[in-house]
Amino acid sequence: MKQYLDLCRRIIDEGEWVANERTGKRCLTVINADLTYDVGAGEFPLVTTRKSYWKSAIAEIIGYLRGYDNAADFRALGTKTWDANANENQAWLNNPYRKGEDDMGLCYGAIGRNFPKPDGGSVDQLRQIVDDLTQGVDNRGEIFTFYHPGALHMACLRPCMYSHHFSLLGDTLYLNSTQRSCDVPLGLNFNMVQVYFLLAIMAQITGKKPGKAYHKIVNAHIYEDQLELMRDVQLTREPFAAPTFKINPDIKTLEDLETWVTLDDFELEGYEYHEAIAYPFSV
Ligand SMILES: Nc1nc(=O)c2c([nH]1)NC[C@@H]1CN(c3ccc(C(=O)N[C@@H](CCC(=O)O)C(=O)O)cc3)CN21
Ligand SMILES: O=c1ccn([C@H]2C[C@H](O)[C@@H](COP(=O)(O)O)O2)c(=O)[nH]1
């Protein structure tokens, strides 16, 4: 939580205003932030200075792991966070690749689990990584990437957290996640939970101990219409102690995650938080 508040403060103190063409808004921006989550020690990085919809964040990442490409599938899992990007952005609505209501196109897991090969066919990166790690193999390239420069025009949005690189040291699993663009008041609230979750669940289904997750953010920003709420409300609050995150121990394989897992398989103990803040969302 401290890392999060420090980054928010740094953007306010040192950020530069950048005009963003896609959203038509200005963003107070800094370049480069490195956050670390000690998953082995159970340090769940949840924001407590406002109510966080953490289950929505878990639903998003499970949807990515399953390769979903449709906002309706995300809703069925328990999050509405892709509705606006799938259905309200004019550039995407005009895009000939959009397959209709709720289609998100070739983004996140839809491309990551079915990554096209130049010589034909495709690669399921996640299946390969899970198989390697389960056998104790780290080939120094256990990378799950969603970034395909030749397919960006076929998606409603370019992936923000676009690469997750897993490493083994003995029986301990590590994760380095990279994010190109970060909406700190809204997106990061979710992304911290997702990076923690990804290491915790991958360790569980490959039979490894979780170590640390390193989260690198390149462009970290606060939109102009979010600034007042962040500076004058959220940053004036005292954080509470971090809650404990529990995963159903019956989840043992990638197939479990792909088939029967729901948000009821995840729990928080001791989540104390301040009142909700409704930050504006930019489509
Ligand atoms: N501008 C922008 N920021 C983002 O963080 C973002 C995007 N766009 N587009 C793609 C995804 C969708 N994500 C989202 C979308 C909406 C919320 C949101 O509205 N959060 C509210 C309520 C969440 C709920 O009720 O489930 C929040 O207060 O956290 C968060 C992340 C993260 N990503
Ligand atoms: O997981 C996510 C997904 C998206 N975001 C934010 C970062 C930006 O504010 C927008 C995406 O806009 P681009 O113009 O494509 O950079 O969504 C996030 O923080 N986390």
Looking at ligand 1, which residue's alpha carbon is closest to its atom 9?
85
Exposed / middle / buried, residue 31 (Cβ in 10 Å: 0-12, 13-18, 19+): exposed
**79, pLDDT greater than 90:** yes
The alpha carbon of 211 and the centre of ligand 2 are apart by a number of angstroms equal to 27
- 21, 83, 190: residue to mutate for ligand 1 pocket, most atoms within 8 A of CB: 190
**245, pLDDT greater than 90:** yes
Average pLDDT score over residue span 240-259 = 98
**49, pLDDT greater than 90:** yes
The alpha carbon of 181 and the centre of ligand 2 are apart by a number of angstroms equal to 5
**86, pLDDT greater than 90:** yes
What per-residue confidence (pLDDT) applies to 1? 80
Average pLDDT score over residue span 51-78 = 98
Average pLDDT, the chain: 97
* Ligand 2 neighbourhood includes 161 CB (under 6 angstroms): yes
The pair phi, psi for residue 236, each rounded to 5°, is -90, -5
Per-residue pLDDT of 12-47, as tens digits, reads 999 999 999 999 999 999 999 999 999 999 999 999
Report the relative pairing of strands 209-223 and 172-183 from DSSP bridges: parallel
Q: Which residues of 79-108 are buried (b: 16+ CB within 10 A; e: fewer)?
A: bebbeebbbebeebeeeeebeeebbbbbbb
* Ligand 2 neighbourhood includes 110 CB (under 6 angstroms): no
- 184, 229, 281: residue to mutate for ligand 1 pocket, most atoms within 8 A of CB: 281
**Measured from the CA of 279, which atom of ligand 1 is nearest?**
28
* Ligand 2 neighbourhood includes 160 CB (under 6 angstroms): yes
Looking at ligand 2, which residue's alpha carbon is closest to its atom 13?
181
Please answer whether residues 166 and 198 qualify as being in contact, where contact means their C-beta atoms are separated by less than 8 angstroms.
no
Q: Tell me, letter by letter, the H, E, C secondary structure of the chain.
A: CHHHHHHHHHHHHHCEEEEECCCCEEEEEEEEEEEEEECCCCCCCCCCCCCCCHHHHHHHHHHHHHCCCEHHHHHHHCCCCCHHHHHCCHHHHCCCCCCCCCECECCCHHHHCCEECCCCCEECHHHHHHHHHHCCCCCCCEEEECCCCCCHHHECCCCCEEEEEEEEECCEEEEEEEEEEEEHHHHHHHHHHHHHHHHHHHHHHHCCEEEEEEEEEEEEEEEHHHHHHHHHCHHHCCCCCCCEEEECCCCCCHHHHHHCCCHHHEEEECCCCCCCCCCCCCC
Average pLDDT score over residue span 142-165 = 97
Q: Which residues are part of the catalytic machinery? A: 160
**241, pLDDT greater than 90:** yes
* Ligand 1 neighbourhood includes 188 CB (under 6 angstroms): no
* Ligand 1 neighbourhood includes 189 CB (under 6 angstroms): yes
Among 177, 176, 187, CA closest to 220: 187
- ipTM > 0.85 (yes/no): yes
- Domains annotated for the chain, with CATH where assigned, are 1-269 (3.30.572.10)
**63, pLDDT greater than 90:** yes
Per-residue pLDDT of 171-200, as tens digits, reads 999 999 999 999 999 999 999 999 999 999
Average pLDDT score over residue span 146-162 = 97
**pLDDT above 90 covers what percent of the chain?**
100
**71, pLDDT greater than 90:** yes
**109, pLDDT greater than 90:** yes
* Binding-site annotation: residue ranges for dUMP: 22, 180-183, 191, 221-223
* Ligand 1 neighbourhood includes 103 CB (under 6 angstroms): no
**75, pLDDT greater than 90:** yes
Among 201, 160, 161, 159, CA closest to 177: 161
Average pLDDT score over residue span 109-128 = 97
